[in-house]
Amino acid sequence: MAKINAEDKALMVKRILEAKRAGISLGTVAEELGISQRTAYNWYNEALRSIPAVDLQAHREEQAARLELLWEKLQPGIAQGSARSIEVGAKVLADARKFLGLDAPAQVEHTVIQKTAAERELEQLLEQAERANYSKQAPKISEAIDTHQD
C-alpha cells in the first residue's frame, strides 16, 4: 500500500468520523476509502482521543441517540415476531450494553482453604480407619447374604 500523506489522512479521518456519526460501519467506510478496516479502526480511535472532552461528550450523545433510534425503529418488527428484527435488536442491545459499559468484566472472589499438616494427617488416619472398618465388616456382610440365601 502506498504511503498516505498527512493531508489525505486528515481527509480520510474526517470521512471516518462523519461515517460513524451517520451509523456507517468502519468496514464499509474503510472499503470506500481503500484502506484496511484495522487502519480505519486505529485512525478512528486516534481521532477520538484527540477530540476535546466537550466534543467527545457530544459524540457520545449522538451515538446514544442513534442506538435509541435504531431500537425504536425495530420495535414493530419485534412485536410481530420477525426473526430478523429480533436478531438485529439483540445486536443493537449488545452494542448499547458495550457502549454504556454494562458488559464490564465481573470480579470473582476466590477463597482458597489450605489445610495444615495436622489436618491432612488426621484425614488420612480417618480414611485408613474407614477402610479397616469396612474390610472387617465385609466378611460379615457376605456371610449374612449367604445365610439369607440358604
- Assigned CATH for 1-50: 1.10.10
Cβ contact 40:67 at 8 Å? no
Which three cell numbers mark 96?
448499547
Cβ contact 59:21 at 8 Å? yes
- Is the pLDDT at 148 greater than 60? The verdict is no
pLDDT given for residue 143 in this prediction: 61
pLDDT given for residue 122 in this prediction: 86
Going by C-alpha positions, the residue among 32, 37, 39 that lies closest to residue 15 is 32
Q: Which single residue is written with the C-alpha cell 461515517? A: 19
pLDDT given for residue 139 in this prediction: 58
Which three cell numbers mark 66?
442513534
- Is the pLDDT at 138 greater than 70? The verdict is no
CA 32 vs. chain centroid, Å, equals: 30
Ranges 3-7, 19-23, 73-77, 106-110: which has the least confidence: 106-110
Cβ contact 82:73 at 8 Å? no
Query: Which of the pair, 144 or 92, is modelled with greater confidence?
Result: 92
Residue 48 Cα distances to 15, 18, 25, 88, angstroms: 13, 12, 16, 26
- Is the pLDDT at 103 greater than 60? The verdict is yes
On average, the pLDDT of the chain sits at 82
Listed in sequence order, the residues at least 6 apart from 56 whose beta carbon sits closer than 8 Å to its beta carbon are 48
Asked whether the CA dihedral 85, 61, 56, 14 is positive or negative, the reply is positive
Residues, the chain, total?
A: 150
For the chain, the domains span 1-50, 56-102, 118-150
- Is the pLDDT at 1 greater than 80? The verdict is no
Ranges 42-46, 61-65, 105-109, 115-119: which has the least confidence: 105-109
Instruction: Express as a percent the part of the chain with pLDDT over 90.
Output: 29
